Amino acid sequence: MKCDSLSTRPFHNRLNDLQPKDWIKFQKSWFIHNPPPRKKDVLRHPAKFPESLVQQFIEFFTKGGMNVLDPMLGTGSTLIACIRSGRNGFGVEINPKYAEIAQNEVDNELAQLNMFREHPKIRIIHGDAVDIPSFNLPMIDYCITSPPYWDMLRMRGADTQKKRRGKDELDVYYSDDPNDLGNIEDYEAFLGALVNIYQKIFEVMRNRAYLTIIVKNVKKQGKMFPLAWDIGKEVGKIFTLKDEKIWCQDDIRLAPYGLGNAWVSNTFHHYCLQFRKEVE
């Protein structure tokens, strides 16, 4: 990819610590990212997103030492990315076993830091993201998260279940907690509960801070539900929807869905929706 020539004017970067060429490269509207193999300790989680991907977003939307939040932490990808990029990280996780795994991952990562380097502040909260305003967090400079893709992990015949079922150490869905968003069967109820959490996140973010939501549309019982687009519309009533990046994966084997009978796509992309808190 070629970049247009850059201006010779002095570059004053108020958003991040990147050089102009790296800034422009990140602004490409789509990218390919094939995650490296997952470590054994975090395989239990059925839908972990990669630290390497999260770190790219953190380093674009923050400067060193800023505060980053992930309200649906899982096994800690965002906090590992924060440590590696020198940002303070705060994560909320409703599932106690995932919170424990995240803490172990964070402890191991921090132990590898140079003893003379200042360690970022890292905090893991076992709790429900809807209670975020009560967790006494500092003002948040950036939030990145990937919510449950509705209750798709509970659908019989889902790819995740097929690959993981029968392996005792691997979860095929998140939890049995009724407060877990991944257990809500009604789509509109799920969407409403999810948007309510982003409303709570709005309260703890500084003005003009960015929010990235990594999500995709889902298919259920022969119908597509436009989850990514609905999130863009509904969360856009709280934050300002600024843009999107499309994350493509090209290392997944094609499956013959609907072969000879109907159109059923192999969906290998996610939407990375960018929002910003804008209060006059």
Residue 227 forms part of a structural domain: yes
Residue 184 forms part of a structural domain: yes
Residue 55 forms part of a structural domain: yes
pLDDT digits (tens, 9 = 90+) for 216-238: 999 888 889 999 999 999 999 99
How sure is the predictor about 175, in pLDDT bands with cuts at 50, 70 and 90? low
Residue 123 forms part of a structural domain: yes
pLDDT of residue 149: 81
Instruction: Single out the residue of 41, 40, 65, 36 nearest to residue 52, CA to CA.
Output: 36
Residue 14 forms part of a structural domain: no
Residue 6 forms part of a structural domain: no
Question: 190: Cβ–Cβ under 8 A, 6 or more apart, which residues?
Answer: 150, 151, 181, 184
Helix (H, G, I), strand (E, B) or coil at 227: helix
Structure tokens at 4: 């247009």
Q: What is the mean pLDDT of residues 59-73?
A: 97
Q: Which residue has the higher pLDDT, 171 or 223?
A: 223
pLDDT digits (tens, 9 = 90+) for 89-132: 999 999 999 999 999 999 999 988 876 677 899 999 999 999 99
pLDDT of residue 6: 54
User: What global pTM score does this model have?
Assistant: 0.86
Q: Domain with 102 in it: what CATH number?
A: 3.40.50.150
Q: Residue 227 is part of which domain span?
A: 20-25+40-276
Residue 252 forms part of a structural domain: yes
pLDDT digits (tens, 9 = 90+) for 179-200: 778 788 899 999 999 999 999 9
pLDDT of residue 1: 55
Residue 45 forms part of a structural domain: yes
- Total of domains in the chain: 1
